[in-house]
Structures are given as C-alpha cells and as structure tokens.
Structure 1
Amino acid sequence: MTLFVFFAVLGAAFLHATWNALIKTGADKMTGMMILTLVQGGFGLVIALTRDFPEAAVWWWLLGSGVFHSAYKLFLAYAYEHGDLSRVYPIARGAAPMMVLGLSFWLLSDPIGGMEYLGIVILGCGILMMARGVFSNAESARLVPLALGSAMATAGYSIVDGLGARVSGDAVAYVAWLFVMDAVFFTPICVALKGRAVFTSDLRIWGLNSVAAFASYGAYAVAVWAMTVAPIALVTALRETSILFAVLIGWLVFGDRMDRQKAVAAALIVGGVVLTRL
C-alpha cells in the first residue's frame, strides 16, 4: 500500500465516522438511513450515466452488493436505536475486518505480510475493548446481535465490492451503480417497515441526512478505489480507524465522556494502523 493510498483511506475513515454521527443524532435512525440511501442512489445514477454501461458479468457483483449494503444499513439503523455511537460503531466496524481476514484465506489472493496481520489483530483488539462496556455498564444487549449482523454484511460487501470493482475495471462506475442497487433494494424495505412518512420529513432532516449521504458516498468511493490497488483485507482493516475518529467526534463535539478504557482502546487502534505501514 502506497503512502497516498494510506492517507486516502484514512480520509475515507473520517468521512465514515462523520456520516454515522449525523445518522445517530437523528430522532428516527431508519428515516435517516432511508434519506441517505435515496440521495446516494440519485447521485449515483447521475454519475453512472456519464460512464460506460457495465458488462453482464459485473451485474452479478452489483446485485450482491445491493443486498449486502441494504442488510448493513438495516442492522445498523436498528442497532443505533438500542445503543450509543461509541458502543454500536466499534462492534459493527470492529468485527468486519476479522471476518474479512478469515475469509481472505480461502477467497482472496492478495499478499498480506506478517506485520500487516499483526496490525490487523491489534486493531481488532482495540476495537473490541472499545465495545466491552455493553455488558459492564448494563447497556442494552440487543445492540450486540444487531451490530454483529451489520459487521457480517460489511464483511460481505467489502469482499464483493473489492472483487466486483476489479472485474468492472472502472471503480467510479461500479460505486455509482452499487448505490443505485442499494436504493432499489433498501427503499421498499424501509417503506414496508416505516410507511410513507419518510418522504414527508421536514427540510432540516432531509438536509442533515443529505450531508451524511455525500460523506458516505465519498468515503466508500475512496475505499472501493483503494481495494482495486491494495489488498482488500488491509484496506478493510485500515478503514476501521474510523473508530478513533468516531470517539474523537463524540468527545470533542458531543461531549461524550473519555475514560481510561476508551483511551487505551484508541491507542491500540493507532498502534494497529502503524503496524500496517511497517
């Protein structure tokens, strides 16, 4: 992984933490996800129409991506209904690279060195430590399976999109179409669960979640591009530095408490990132 790709993925991680924080601040998380998905899908369609139409083989990857992304947002929205950003986010994002790493032994051929594996493991330990307060602080245990479901979907779309973008040969077009597919799958699910009230939300809610949508689009566009030029498992793990950004946003912007456990976990995350660069 080159230094340029490294910092690009770090920037994407910051954007990812930002859009999650925006969704968490909303009163109805599913409504926020729905607006985000519609805006992303519309913007994706505009971008897609400026590119060459994907070949037939690419559409299988895009369909799979749409399913995984929809599942990810569904689990994440419900998880945020039951827990704080600093608890749900670490579990949801932290388990994903461990899953991708395990699957990479059988599904991927990207070369990963020993220090990179060590970095991923330490990064994962820091993320898991960040999430242990679910039980020690008697928080809602219901968020755990929901967050893990989100992590499984994240692992799924990380592999599907990394390989699909390579098959496509055009990461920009692939990302645009995957967000279109995401909207096609996720919209009817939200309407079935929440009714048509989502379409009548006020302009402030639409504006807030539209900002989240563009942050999410930019974050994932960079990540998918990075997976075409660097090992998928490594990019996936490096993206999880968004945990550190989420903790800082919660502390500096929302006034969340910064205790020793969070500080140690953040230090492990930074240490894991450093090791991926050795």
Structure 2
Amino acid sequence: MPALLPSVDFIYGAVLAAALFHATWNALIKGSSDKLLSAIGITGVSTLIAALCLPWLPQPAPASWPFLLASLVLQVVYMRLVAHIYRVADMSVSYPVMRGTAPLLVALVSIVFFHDDPSPVALAGVATICAGILCIGLPGIARSRKSGGVPLALLNAVVIAGYTLVDGTGARLSQAPAGYTLWIFLLQGIVMVGLALPHRARDLAGHFRAHWGAAVLGGFGSVISYGVALWAMTLAPIAVIAALRETSILFGILISGLFLRERLTPARLAGGCVLVLGVIVLRLAP
C-alpha cells in the first residue's frame, strides 16, 4: 500500500509554523549583547540536538554528501554574516532585505538550471511575497546605508539562496531529510564552536551560563525551522517553499517592534499585508 502524502495545506501550515521559529532565533541573536557568541551558542545547542538524534535516524544516501559539504561552508558564512549584520543594522531593515531577495534568486536559478518549474500562479505568489518583504525593509534602507548593513544583507541573500538550492537538492537526493538536516547542524556547530574556542573560550562559557535559556530556545528553533523547510522541499518546488518560509518576516517585524523596541511604521505594516496576499496567491496555485 503506497504511503499517504501530506496535503498541501498541511505542508504550507508546517512551513508557516517553521517561519515563526526562524524569526524567533534571529531575534534572539539581534537582542543579545554579543551577537557572535549568541549565534555560536545557538549553533552549539543545535549541534548537541543533532548528535543525540542522529544515531536513531536513517542516514543520508552517499549521493547527498557533496551537498552536505557545500552546505557546511555556506551555513558557516551565513551565521557569521548574520552576527555581524545585526551589530550594524536594525533587524527590521536587514532581515527583510536578506530574506526578501533570496527567494527571487532561488526561483530564477531553480527554473533555469534545475528545471524545478512552479506554475505561473505559484510564481506570482513568490513574486508577491518577495515584494511585500522588500516593502517592509525599503523605508529603512536609506537610513541604514552608511552602516553598511544593507550591502551585507544583500550579500547574505546570495548566501541564503546558495544554501537553499544546495540543501533543497541534497535533501531530495538523501532519501532521509531529517538525517540530512541534522548532519548540517552537527558539522556547522563543530566548525563554528571550533573556530571560537581558541580565542574566546572563556567568553563563550560565560555567555552561555548567562544566556543558556535563549541558546536552548534558539537551538531548537533553528533545527525545527530548517528541518521542516527541507522536508517540504522534498514534496514541493524549492522556490515555492523558499518564498513561503520567508513569511517569517511577519513574525520578525512583530518581534522587533514588541520586544526589540524597533519602530513599526505604516509602510512596514502595508508590506506585511502584501506578503499575506502573496501567501494567499501561493495557496491558490495548482
């Protein structure tokens, strides 16, 4: 008897829930007194989760191993860029620029090179979601230009698009999306913690003791958010899931306004409405 596939509504609902976890761990880094140590602490917890769970899960097929190695490089670059960007720019500006530009790049590359063609209606939904996300961040771009945060956010968008395409393909080839995801976190954590220990071991230990709760919450949030996204990419076009995942910006602007004391402007709220419209269009796609 063939296995029952989850419904589209279930897949999309799971990705939206994952988006909340993604925005949460980004906000934890932004709100930290030391962004890099916070990012390493979150990565360390996700590494521990991976080490505990991997022995009990099916392992990824050898065909996916080169993608794991490529992802490792991109994920480490991404995390270090996130920590630096949040030191020089508001989350409510840099987060939309990073997350809004990446799905457009993913859609273009996946169509041209991977022949992973969403329907025209799905592409309209992707474009609408990206437009809404960018509208949220555009009002703050001029104010943030001198800090260098916007160019770095655009650079990180390229990195995000890169690891999304690499991991979307790798997860499909792995035949074990959960195992593939946890190997990403295990390898990423080993590298990031290993790079920090020779220079900041005492600082890292002290920071973790003071902020262990945030590290644990962020670690679980990062594993859940990315694991669900990669699982969904094995069942739906990568470009569609990549765009839907970036609805995390809705949660991001609310968190940044309510907890990080960043301004919720009418333009950002209007951009959020456009983003929601894009989600509706995406859901109506055949």
TM-score in terms of structure 1 length = 0.93
- Match of 1:120? 126
1:227-255 deviation digits (Å, cap 9, x = unpaired): 01111000000011001111122233444
CA contact (8 A) 1:65 1:178 kept: yes
- Match of 2:104? 98
- Match of 2:32? 26
Question: For the residues of structure 2 that align with 1:265 and 1:166, how far apart are their CA atoms?
Answer: 33
Percent identical among aligned pairs is: 35
Q: 1:206 aligns with which of 199, 207, 212?
A: 212
**CA deviation after TM superposition for structure 1 residue 8, in Å:** 0.5
SS at 2:279's partner residue?
helix
Alignment of 1:245-256 (within 5 A): 245-256=251-262
- Match of 1:60? 66
1:15-60 deviation digits (Å, cap 9, x = unpaired): 1111111111100100011111111111112111112343332221
Question: For the residues of structure 2 that align with 1:141 and 1:256, how far apart are their CA atoms?
Answer: 17
- Match of 1:35? 41
Distance 1:138 1:40, change over 3 A: closer
Distance 1:96 1:192, change over 3 A: farther
TM-score in terms of structure 2 length = 0.91
Question: For the residues of structure 2 that align with 1:189 and 1:100, how far apart are their CA atoms?
Answer: 30
- Match of 1:84? 90
**CA deviation after TM superposition for structure 1 residue 139, in Å:** 5.5
CA contact (8 A) 1:134 1:140 kept: no
- Match of 1:69? 75
SS at 1:257's partner residue?
coil
Question: For the residues of structure 1 that align with 2:140 and 2:56, how far apart are their CA atoms?
Answer: 46
SS at 1:68's partner residue?
helix
SS at 1:121's partner residue?
helix
Q: Which amino acid aligns with 2:279?
A: V
The answer on 1:182 being equivalent to 2:188 is yes
- Match of 2:269? 263
Q: 1:218 aligns with which of 209, 213, 224?
A: 224
SS at 2:263's partner residue?
coil
Question: For the residues of structure 1 that align with 2:196 and 2:99, how far apart are their CA atoms?
Answer: 23
Question: For the residues of structure 2 that align with 1:240 and 1:19, how far apart are their CA atoms?
Answer: 14
CA contact (8 A) 2:59 2:180 kept: no
Alpha-carbon RMSD: 1.8
Q: Which amino acid aligns with 1:73?
A: M
Gaps of 5+ in 1: none
1:36-85 deviation digits (Å, cap 9, x = unpaired): 11111111121111123433322211111111111111111100000111
**CA deviation after TM superposition for structure 1 residue 272, in Å:** 1.1
**CA deviation after TM superposition for structure 1 residue 193, in Å:** 6.9
Q: 1:242 aligns with which of 227, 239, 248?
A: 248
1:116-139 deviation digits (Å, cap 9, x = unpaired): 111111211222222223343356
Gaps of 5+ in 2: 1-6
Moved >6 Å (runs of 4+): none
Distance 1:23 1:139, change over 3 A: same
Question: For the residues of structure 2 that align with 1:175 and 1:84, how far apart are their CA atoms?
Answer: 29
